[in-house]
Amino acid sequence: MNKNQQRFINYMSRFVTYTWYMLGNLPSVVFWGVRIKKINMDSCQTTIPYNWRTKNPFKSIYFATLCGGAELASGSLCLLHLTGSEKFSMLVVDLNAQFVKKADAEITMQCEDGHLIQQTLSGLAQPGDTSTLKTTIIGHNPNNEIVAKFEVTWSFKRK
C-alpha cells in the first residue's frame, strides 16, 4: 500500500471528509446515511441504516438504497486501488441484484474482491487498454443472514 492509498483510507474513514466527498459526488448516499465501516486493500464494508430515509412503504429498505450501498462497497475498493496510480477511468456497465430476505434492520454490504481488482488493473499496461471486472457484494443483516447479493461490473480504461 502506498502513502496515497493510506490517505484515501483515512479520508474515507473520517465522517467530515467522507461526508464532503459524498456530497460532491454521491449526495444520495449522504441522505440515506450509508457509511464506510471498514476499508483495506482486500475488502470494503458499508452500512445502511434502517430509518425513515431508507424505508419504503412495505417497512423494508428501498432497493435503490441497497444498490447504492453495494455500489459504494465495490466502487470505494476500486478507487482505493486506483489511488496514486496512473490515470484511469471507471464506470458501472452492469448491475445484477438478488434480494433474498426482507431488509428490515441495518444492513452491512461486504465486497472482498480487492485481489481481483488489483489483477485487473495490473493487466492494463498501455494507454487505451480496457477491461471489465464483475465484483460481488453480499448484504447481511445483524443476525448475519444474507439479505441480498449484488454483482456490479466495472469497466476500466487506462488513459
Q: For 44-56, what is each residue's pLDDT tens digit?
A: 999 999 999 999 9
User: 134 pLDDT exceeds 90?
Assistant: yes
CATH number at residue 114: 3.10.129.10
Q: For 102-112, what is each residue's pLDDT tens digit?
A: 999 999 999 99
Q: What is the CA radius of gyration of the chain?
A: 16
Residue type, 22: M
**32-46, 58-72, 79-93, 139-153: lowest mean pLDDT where?**
79-93
Question: DSSP state, 61?
Answer: B
Domain that holds residue 13: 3-158
In whole angstroms, give the CA distance from residue 46 to residue 107.
Answer: 8
In whole angstroms, give the CA distance from residue 148 to residue 107.
Answer: 9
The total number of structural domains in the chain stands at 1
User: 99 pLDDT exceeds 90?
Assistant: yes
